[in-house]
Amino acid sequence: MVTKRRTIGGVLPILGTLTAALAFLPAPVRAASEYNLPYGVTPISHAVYRLHMLAFWMMCGIGVVVFGLIFYSIVFHRRSRHPVPAKFHENTVLEIVWTIIPFFILVVLAVPAARLLLRMENLRHPQLTVRITGYQWLWRYTYPRYGINVYSRLSNPSLASVHYGRHLSPYAVPHYLRSVTHPMVLPTGEKIRLLVTGGDVIHAWWVPDFGLQVDGNPGLINAMWIKILKPGVYRGACNQICGWGHGYMPVVVVAKPPAQFLAWVRRWRAAHHGPGAGDFTPKPL
């Protein structure tokens, strides 16, 4: 039966493709990856990464068992090898086993997830508060303590490329669609409370390296906290469809050590509130 053989042979490539694709996922590599979650730069993003990898490997394990059984059956229980079908159609013990075992596997995942969630939601004792407001289509970052108000929109080189009729290769634009006019500047090492809201419609503030995103709902405020461990530039984007320019409102955060952050605060105040404004006493928290 040539046709039969061809069918079975055909099952191999698809399972092969799938496992090959799975193997593609790198083991815990910590560099930014084209294929996996970033390890990130906050304690939370590290924990999220570990939870993600735990879940991923557990799913792979279940996959090996389930797909292995299916594959075995496809090969060994096809009619040409197994012409007389068995007759069984129930087995209470087996059915109880495959109800209980998945349940415990899920508990193994749910416990660390719940603990991490409680940690993420612990907003006590922030050292700095920044208000984030999404608009169609830009972000506003307000630092109440320092009287600073930064508007952040897509930078001109990206815009030029996006602009119809002007063709500038996206590869020629530095950080195409992920660069802004004025980035958000934050200190490293401090527990920063983010208060996120929407100015017109719902937006979502997302920086993968920080391990989280927060919806900005008009009229409501969401709170989250981050603690950036490494100075650097971190890029993300709006993640809730908000109209024409949804793809064009990136988030860029520049994280500086506290002293340099304060220097930035002084420069900003001097530039926007007049030369004397650089020296000031921050408002209480």
Partner 1 sequence: MSSDAHALTHDHAGEHAPPRGLMRWITTTNHKDIGTMYLVLSLIMFFVGGAMAMVIRAQLFRPDMQLVTPLFYNQMATMHGLIMVFGAVMPAFVGLANWMIPMMIGAPDMALPRLNNWSFWILPFAFTLLLITLFLPGGGPQGGWTMYVPFNLQLGYGFPFMIFAIHLMGISSVMGAINIIATILNMRAPGMTLMKMPLFVWSWLITAYLLIAVMPVLAGGVTMQLLDRYFGTHFFSVAGGGSPILWEHVFWFFGHPEVYIMILPAFGILSEIIPTFARKPIFGYHSMVYALASIAFLSFIVWGHHMFVVGMPVAADLFFMFATMLIAVPTGIKIFNWVATMWKGSLTFETPMLFAVAFIVLFTIGGFSGVMLALVPADFQYNNSYFVVAHFHYVLVTGAVFAIMGAVYYWLPKWTGHMYNEFWGKTHFWLSAISANVLYFPMHFLGLAGMPRRVPDYPVQFANLNMVASIGGFVFGLSQLIFVAVIFSCVRAGKKAEARAWEGAHGLEWTLPSPAPYHSFATPPEVA
* Residues in region 161-220 near Cu ion by CB under 5 A: 203
Interface with partner 1, residue 218, by CB under 8 A: yes
Residue 254's binding partner, choosing from Cu ion, partner 1, none, with beta-carbon cut-off 5 to 8 A by kind? Answer: none
Among 234, 42, 206, 211, CA closest to 134: 206
- Near partner 1 in 173-192, by CB under 8 A: 175-178
Considering the rule CB under 5 A, would residue 238 count as an interface residue with Cu ion?
Answer: yes
Name which of 35 and 279 has its Cβ closer to partner 1: 35
Identify the residue among 138, 207, 214, 242 touching Cu ion (CB under 5 A). Answer: 242
Tokens of 142: 């307000």
If binding is defined by CB under 8 A, does position 202 make contact with partner 1?
yes
Q: Which residues contact 276 (CB under 8 A, 6 or more apart)?
A: 270
User: The tokens of 64 are what?
Assistant: 């090996």
* CB of residue 122 to partner 1, shortest distance in Å: 10
- Does 63 bind partner 1 (CB under 8 A)? Our answer is yes
Q: What distance in Å separates the CA atoms of residue 6 and residue 8, rounded to the nearest whole number?
A: 6
Q: Which of 128, 130, 138, 242 binds partner 1 (CB under 8 A)?
A: 242
Map residues 122-161 to x or -, x wherever contact with partner 1 holds by CB under 8 A. ---------------------------------------x
Peptide bond between residue 137 and the one before it cis (omega within 30 degrees of 0): yes
178 with 237: CB under 8 angstroms? Answer: yes
Closer of 67 and 248 to Cu ion (Cβ): 248
Residue 24: C-alpha distances to residues 17, 49, 54, 71, 185 (Å)? 11, 17, 17, 21, 36
Among 246, 264, 270, 280, binds Cu ion (CB under 5 A): 246
* Torsion angles phi and psi, residue 180, rounded to 5: -130, 165
